[in-house]
Amino acid sequence: MIIDHETLSDEQLMIRVQQNADHKAFSALVSRHTRMFYAAAYRMYPNQDEAEDIVQEAFLKLWRRPEIWKSDGKAKFTTWFYRIVTNLAIDHLRKKKNTKGSDSLDRIIDNGESAQDVMELDEQGKAVERAVQQLPERQKIALNLCFYEELSNKEAAEIMDIGVKALESLLMRAKASLRDNLRGQGW
């Protein structure tokens, strides 16, 4: 019987990885989610090479120890794996406290704006990115999950293993800190 791995759910693929060390199932998971988890890692650790390393390390950890995922139905695979990626990104940040800022917020603006407008947008983007990087760890995670990854508050709370009210409190404090930081920079 030939199995079309692309039609299986993430959870079904993980069961195949756990039970059969199914390379095709694992490959389907990797190709299905690498981009999404790279974006999450990059938001936490804004360095392209490091973010790629974080995602690769997370998938390698999963391949080597697939039993760490429990198929008890409490959390979707993606919610659970976000937590793995987030924790690895935090570990990388702790190891390298003296980061030199972030890569530029690369955007292609092709809508007739002047060079001055483009430069101001880029500077504003850099200021926001610097302010986000200065947030306390948990506020940064909450902000990244809810605003950049566009997860619901419930999903983000599950990933962070906190209640929805606690997540909302983190988001409010993060927004207030960003607002104060950016005002202090003249934005």
Q: Which fold has domain 104-187?
A: Arc Repressor Mutant, subunit A (1.10.10)
Each domain of the chain, given as residue ranges in start order, spans 1-101, 104-187
- Residues in Cβ contact with 36 at an 8 Å cutoff, skipping those fewer than 6 apart: 78, 149
pLDDT given at position 121:
57
Helix axes 77-95, 48-64, angle to 10 degrees: 130
pLDDT at 83 over 50: yes
Per-residue pLDDT at 96 exceeds 70: no
C-alpha to C-alpha distance for 84 and 37, rounded to whole angstroms: 10
The pLDDT of residue 97 is 52
The Cα–Cα gap between 102 and 45 comes to 8
Q: Contact 14/77 with Cβ under 8 angstroms? A: yes
Q: Does this chain's domain 1-101 share its CATH topology with 104-187?
A: no
- pLDDT score of 129: 79
Cα gap 123→113, rounded to integer Å: 15
CATH class (in words) of the domain with range 1-101: mainly alpha
pTM, entire model = 0.62
Residue 58 has pLDDT above 90, yes or no: yes
What is the C-alpha to C-alpha distance for residues 140 and 174, in angstroms, rounded to an integer?
Answer: 7
pLDDT over 90 at 18, yes or no: yes
Give pLDDT, residue 81. 92
pLDDT of residue 171: 92
